[in-house]
Structure 1
């Protein structure tokens, strides 16, 4: 079951607000334009959210990408728990996504200079 774009947008907006971020702050941190973020939050974007956007948003919002994948409906926790093979497939997917996210975070940390 896919989550509607507006539900995903509400999730993004609530997380952003809980972190005390403005749309400009999120745009700066995620390197996603304010216009694109506004379309995501309002549910008016026409195309699907790309892997890159998921990774950038997850990093900026300080959550694992898997939370965003579940919020947008790409992953379903109920599906994953219905049988053993699905649990394994789900866990493998999670590990791949988390690994990509951690590599991205490590790269960002390497790019930050220590003062």
Structure 2
């Protein structure tokens, strides 16, 4: 069985683009970790720093999700599996990784109701 590459897909990300994506992920990790720390502090303040407690919970959950996704992307980089779709194993286009560096699926597999063909 031969798998043909989709025209917008690229080979595995390596070299300078990979290092740029790693820097983006590391920065995102720091920003989200700082955000989670800030939200945790607000949650402990009288008046919750002006935030509704439910909103603080939602924002903290989103920050934790982002931290986990970013950490997983960095782990995939160290394992050499970064930039490949978790479903179809095809390379994720560089443009998608630039806009969503923690992406685990190509655009085709990420669409609801669609998967690898």
TM superposition score normalised by structure 1: 0.35
Flag the structure with larger Rg: 2
* Higher share of residues assigned helix: 1
TM superposition score normalised by structure 2: 0.34
